[in-house]
Amino acid sequence: MLASSSFHGGPCSQFPHSNRHNNKQHSISCFSLTKPPPSVCHGFVFSKRINSHRFKIRALNRDTLSEKEATPFFPNRHSVKIPVGDRFITVETGQIGRQASGSVIVRDGETIIYTSVCMSDVPSEPSDFFPMSVNYQERFSAAGRTSGGFFKREGRTKDHEVLICRLIDRPLRPTMLKGFYHETQILSWVLSYDGVHPPDSLAVTAAGIAVALSEVPSTNTIAGVRIGLIGDKFIVNPTTKEMEDSKLDLLLAGSESGILMIEGYCDFLPEEKLVQAIEVGQEAVRAICKEVDNLAKKYGKPKMLDTIKLPPPELYKHVEEIVGDELVEVLQLKSKVPRRKALSLLEDKVLSILTEEGYVSKSETVGAEITPDMLEDEDEEEEFVVDGEVDEGDVHIKPVYKKPVPMFYSEVDVKLVFKSVSSKYLRRRIVEGGKRSDGRTSEEIRIIDSECGLLPRAHGSALFTRGETQSLAVVTLGDKQMAQRIDNLVGVEDVKRFYLQYSFPPSCVGEVGRLGAPSRREIGHGTLAERALEPVLPSEEEFPYTIRVESTITESNGSSSMASVCGGCLALQDAGVPLKSPIAGIAMGLVVDTEEFGGDGTPLILSDITGSEDASGDMDFKVAGNDDGVTAFQMDIKVAGISLSTMKQALLQAKEGRKRILAEMLKCSPPPSKTLSKHAPLILVMKVKPERVNLIIGSGGKKVKSIIEETGVESIDTQDNGIVKITSRDWASLEKTKAIISNLTMVPVVGDVYRNCKITSIVPYGAFVEIVPGREGLCHISELSPDWLSKPDDAFKVGDQVDVKLIEINEKGQLRLSRKALLPAPDQSTDPPSENQSTTSVGKDSGTPQKYTDKSKLRRSSTMPRVDADKSSEYTFTKRYVGSRKNEPKPTSSKPDAVASSDSDSGSELVNGEAQI
C-alpha cells in the first residue's frame, strides 16, 4: 500500500531536505500538524526512523484507542443470521448503497445478492397500477468469467432473468398500500455465485428485506424459498446438486399472514403432495419474515404514510348513484367486446358529470320554492324600527333561493373509483346470483373447440378455442442446430431441445398497439406452458428432434397461457411427437370476501376464469397436468394472502376441470395425425466407436463438409460418445451419407482385398485409392506395379479402377495399400550377365530370358524414352536404387506383403528390385 499525504484531511508538514554538505540523507516522514482522527487516516500512522530511505507504516491498534476513536467507518452497519432450512443466510445492511432508501447484501454460502430500493422525490399521476419496476441481473464476474459473445458488457436482459424479475414483482405488488404513487425501483444483482446455492429464491427474499427497511409503505414483509422433493422428504432451499434428483421445483413467496405467490414444475405430482410442499414452504417463509420484522423495527426507516392519497370516500357513493343500475345490466352481457364498449360509455358518462358538469347528490335538499304570498308588497309603506327596538307586528321574511353546490372531482379519482365500483358489482353478481357474466356457474367450463392440421406445410398445427380465448399452435422439427443455446452464469453450455415461444399481439383483444421485443408477460406465459408440456416429451434417444412450439394468441379473454398448453399438446401430436400422455391447463379464480355481498364468508373459487374475473377477482391460479397429477402451476393474488385450505380446494377443483378439458380435446376434429409430416426433416442416428469420430470430422471439419456437399444432406452432428445424427430431406441422400460414414468408421483388417477401387489423386510418391466411399488409402509407387515406374502417372491416371490389398495400418490409422501384391511376380533369369553384354531386347509378353545392361550405363538407360505398351516393342530393364525422398512417407516392410529386395553388390535397399521403364 502506498502512503500518500492525500490520506489526511488536514495539512501535512514539509519534508526535510537532504543535507547537501555532508551528503547524508535523512529519512522522510510525513505527519499531520494536527492529529487527524483514525477514521480519516484509514487506520494507519506513520513512524519516523533515522537512516531509513522509505516509509514504514504501522497499523493502529484499536484495542488501545478510546471508545470515541474506535468508532467504525460504517456506524450503521448491521448483520444478522436467519435460519433457513438446514443452514443460515446472512443479511447485511448499512455498508453498501447507503444513499438508497433501502439496500441489503444477502449471502447463502458463497452466493451473494445485492438489492436496493429507491423512490422518486415527486409522486406520479395516480393510477390503478402501482408504479414499481424490478430489474435483476446476473453478473458473469460473479462466477469468474465473461460473456461468450462479442460484447463483453452485460446487455439485454436474458429470458431467465426476466422470469426472476417476475418472481420478485408478483409477491411484492399486493403488499403495497393503495394511494402511494411515488415511482419505486428495485435493482438486484448477483455479485457472487458458487454454483451450489441458486440465486433466484435468495433474490426474492433480498427484495422483501430491502423494501421492509426502506421508506416504501407496505402491509407485510415478504420472503421466498424453494422447495424440493427428494424421495419422500421435502427440502427447503435445496442445492443445485440436490435439485438434480428432485421431483418438484416449487418457488413460494409469502408473508406471515399467508401465501402470495407460487410457481413450480413437477413430474405428475398429486395434488395432496403439492399441498404438503406448500405447507412446508409457508412455515419456512413465516420464520424468515419474523426475523426480518425484528430487523426492520430496529434499523428500518419510517414509512412515508403521509404521502398516500386516496379518492374522496363520498365519490364511491356518487358513482353508484349515477350508473349503478346500468352497471348491473352491462355486466350481464356475455360477449367481451360489447361489454367493454358499454363499460367505456358508462365511464365517459360518469366523467362528464363528475368532472365537467358537476354532480349534485340525490340526498341533498333543494331550496324552498318561492310562492306569491311569500313575496313582499312593494307598495306597502316601510316601517322604520329604531335600533334596539323590536317590531312586535308582523315579521316579514324575505325568502332566499338556495342553489345546491355541484361537486367536481379529478378525472383520475373518478376513473379509479369507477373501476373499483365495477369490480364490486361484478363480484356481487357472482356471489348473490350464483351466475357469472357469461351465465356459467362457478365450476362450469366454457365451450371448447379444437382443430388440427390447419397449416399444410407446417410439421404440426392446431387451433384451440375455449370461449373467447384462442391459440394457434405450430410445431417445427429440426436437428441440433435448431436448438436454443443459453449463455448462463455457470459457463456450461446449456442447449434446449424443446422450447415454446408465446406471442400476444394487440389484435387478440381488438386493440391497437406497438410490436417489438417479447414482453415480460409473453416470456413468463411461454415458459409456464413450456414447463407444463416438457414432462410428457420423449427422450432424445426415442425422438432425436429439436422441437419448437409457437403459440400465437389470436383471441383472448382469460387464460391464454393455459390455452397454449392445450393447443401446444394437440400440435405436438399432429407433428408425430410420441407424447407420454395429453396435457391440459386451466385457470382458477377466487372471491375472498363473500360476506360483503351476502355470502356465508367461505371463499368462492371459480373455474376457467375470464379476463374480467381475473381483473376483478382476488386470485389467478393456473394449473396444468393430466388425470394423474400436476406438471406446472402458477399463482398470483391481489389480497394479503390466502390460506392453505383455500389453495387445497382450488387444486382439487382444478383437477376436475382438467379432466373435462382433456375429454373435450379427444373430440378434436380433424384429429391430430400422430405421424411425422412429409415436410419434416429425416434424422438418422448412427452409433460408431468414439475414437473414430474424428475420421468423420476430418482436419478442420473438411471431411464432414465434403460429405455434406457430396450427398446433399442438411447437417451431420457428431458427439463425443460416438452418436452421429444425419439430417436430410430425402431418404436417398440419407442412405448415401450412412454408407460413407459406415465406410469411414469401419475397422479394416490387414489382408483385406478391395476390387475395382477408384484412384482419386496421384502424387509423385504414389496414388490415393478410395477403397470404399469416403475412405482412402495410399498405394506407394513401389506397390503400384511389380515393374519399376519413374512416375505414377506414367501408367495410371485419376479415375482408373484398380484392385488393391491392405498391407499396413500405421499408428495414425492411415491405410497402406498394394496393387503389386495381387499381381503375379515377373520371371527372372538366374544366369549372371556377361560384362561385355549390352542390352538385349525381349518381347513384352515373350518368355525369353531377360538381359541386363552394363552397370556403367545404368543412369543413362534410366532416361530412355518410354515405349507404348500396345506395341510389341522392346523394354530395357535396369536396377535402380529408389531412396527416400523429402516429404515422402517411408514405407515399412514389417508386413509380409510388403515386397523388398536387396542388392548384393551395393548393399542398398531396393524398392521393387527391378523397375520397368
* 289 and 178 both lie in a single domain: yes
Which run of H or of E encompasses 533? helix 520-533
Question: Which pLDDT value is given to residue 841?
Answer: 35
Alpha-carbon distances of 688 from 694, 701, 717, 735, 742, rounded to whole Å: 11, 18, 13, 16, 8
Map 89-154 to HEC letters. Answer: EEEEECCCCCCCCEEEEEEECCEEEEEEEEECCCCCCCCCCCCEEEEEEECHHHHCCCCCCCCCCC
**Helix ranges (DSSP H) in 630-754:** 644-665, 693-697, 702-711, 731-745
Question: Which pLDDT value is given to residue 209?
Answer: 96
CB 355 within 8 A of CB 361: no
Beta-bridge partners for 184: 119, 132
> Which one is predicted more confidently, 699 or 294?
294
The whole-angstrom separation of Cα 29 and Cα 53 is 10
* 124 and 224 both lie in a single domain: yes
Closest CA to 292 of 250, 238, 256: 256
Question: Which pLDDT value is given to residue 85?
Answer: 85
Q: How many domains does the chain have?
A: 4
* 474 and 547 both lie in a single domain: yes
Whether the pLDDT of residue 872 is over 50: the answer is no
584-591 and 484-486 as β-strands: parallel, antiparallel, unpaired? Answer: unpaired
Q: How many CA atoms lie within 13 A of 141 on its CB side?
A: 5
Query: Could you tell me which residues come within 8 angstroms of residue 916 by beta carbon, excluding any fewer than 6 positions away?
Result: 785, 787, 788, 789, 875, 877
* 726 and 761 both lie in a single domain: no
The whole-angstrom separation of Cα 619 and Cα 606 is 10
Domain boundary among 613, 634, 664: 664
Question: Which pLDDT value is given to residue 396?
Answer: 54
Strand order in the sheet with 682-687: 682-687, 723-728, 715-718
* 115 and 149 both lie in a single domain: yes
Question: Which pLDDT value is given to residue 74?
Answer: 83
The whole-angstrom separation of Cα 218 and Cα 358 is 35
Instruction: Locate 785 and state its grid cell.
Output: 506395379
> Which one is predicted more confidently, 857 or 710?
710
What average pLDDT does range 596-602 have in this prediction? 78
Asked whether residue 484 is assigned to any structural domain, the reply reads: yes
Asked whether residue 3 is assigned to any structural domain, the reply reads: no
- The neighbour count for residue 36, using CB atoms within 10 Å, is 16
Asked whether residue 603 is assigned to any structural domain, the reply reads: no
Q: 3-class SS at 278? A: helix
Question: Which pLDDT value is given to residue 789?
Answer: 84
Q: What is the pLDDT of residues 171-216, one digit of tens each?
A: 999 999 999 999 999 999 999 999 899 999 999 999 999 999 999 9
The whole-angstrom separation of Cα 362 and Cα 858 is 134
What average pLDDT does range 84-109 have in this prediction? 93
The whole-angstrom separation of Cα 461 and Cα 452 is 6
Question: Which pLDDT value is given to residue 492?
Answer: 59
Strand order in the sheet with 111-119: 78-84, 87-93, 102-108, 111-119, 184-192, 132-138
Whether the pLDDT of residue 287 is over 90: the answer is yes
Q: What is the pLDDT of residues 37-54, one digit of tens each?
A: 444 444 343 344 434 444
Closest CA to 521 of 185, 172, 166, 201: 166
> Which one is predicted more confidently, 384 or 826?
826
* 724 and 757 both lie in a single domain: no
pTM (two decimals): 0.74
* 703 and 784 both lie in a single domain: no
What average pLDDT does range 829-844 have in this prediction? 40
The whole-angstrom separation of Cα 270 and Cα 623 is 12
Question: Which pLDDT value is given to residue 483?
Answer: 87
Task: Supply the DSSP string of 593-645, one letter for each residue.
Answer: --GGGT--SPPEEEES--HHHHHHSSEEEEEEE-SS-EEEEEEEESSS-B-HH
Instruction: Locate 798 and state its grid cell.
Output: 485419376
Query: Could you tell me which residues come within 8 angstroms of residue 496 by beta carbon, excluding any fewer than 6 positions away?
Result: 483, 484, 485, 486
Whether the pLDDT of residue 105 is over 90: the answer is yes
Q: What is the pLDDT of residues 114-127, one digit of tens each?
A: 999 999 999 998 88
* 659 and 786 both lie in a single domain: no
Asked whether residue 140 is assigned to any structural domain, the reply reads: yes
- The neighbour count for residue 425, using CB atoms within 10 Å, is 19
Query: Could you tell me which residues come within 8 angstroms of residue 823 by beta carbon, excluding any fewer than 6 positions away?
Result: 785, 786
Asked whether residue 633 is assigned to any structural domain, the reply reads: no
Q: Which domain holds residue 704?
A: 681-745
Whether the pLDDT of residue 457 is over 50: the answer is yes
The whole-angstrom separation of Cα 12 and Cα 473 is 76
Asked whether residue 522 is assigned to any structural domain, the reply reads: yes
The whole-angstrom separation of Cα 264 and Cα 535 is 13
Q: What is the pLDDT of residues 306-360, one digit of tens each?
A: 999 999 999 999 999 999 899 989 988 888 889 999 999 999 999 998 888 777 7
Residue 229 backbone phi and psi in degrees, to 5: -125, 110
Lowest mean pLDDT among 363-372, 699-708, 764-773: 363-372
Q: What is the pLDDT of residues 567-577, one digit of tens each?
A: 999 999 999 99
Instruction: Locate 676 and state its grid cell.
Output: 411425422
Mean pLDDT across the chain: 79
Lowest mean pLDDT among 100-104, 734-738, 748-752, 767-771: 748-752
Question: Which pLDDT value is given to residue 846?
Answer: 36
Q: 3-class SS at 79? A: strand
* 789 and 699 both lie in a single domain: no
* 255 and 270 both lie in a single domain: yes
CATH, residue 703: 3.30.1370.10
753-763 and 604-607 as β-strands: parallel, antiparallel, unpaired? Answer: unpaired
Asked whether residue 115 is assigned to any structural domain, the reply reads: yes
Whether the pLDDT of residue 377 is over 70: the answer is no
Domain boundary among 611, 629, 664: 664
Q: What is the pLDDT of residues 636-668, one digit of tens each?
A: 888 877 888 898 999 999 999 999 999 999 999
The whole-angstrom separation of Cα 703 and Cα 646 is 64
Question: Which pLDDT value is given to residue 399?
Answer: 57
* 726 and 782 both lie in a single domain: no
Q: Look-up: residue for cell 478391395?
A: 754
Give, in degrees to the nearest 5, the angle at Cα 236 between 175 and 282: 35
* 102 and 177 both lie in a single domain: yes
What average pLDDT does range 798-822 have in this prediction? 88
CATH, residue 770: 2.40.50.140
Q: What is the pLDDT of residues 51-72, one digit of tens each?
A: 444 444 454 454 444 444 445 6
Give residue 36's pLDDT band: very low, low, confident or very high (50, 70, 90): very low
Closest CA to 452 of 429, 435, 422, 475: 475
Asked whether residue 157 is assigned to any structural domain, the reply reads: yes
Domain boundary among 664, 694, 725: 664
Q: What is the pLDDT of residues 477-523, one digit of tens each?
A: 998 888 888 777 765 567 889 999 999 999 999 889 888 889 999 99
CATH, residue 454: 3.30.230.70
Instruction: Locate 627 and state its grid cell.
Output: 388425470
Give, in degrees to the nearest 5, the angle at Cα 227 between 224 and 233: 150
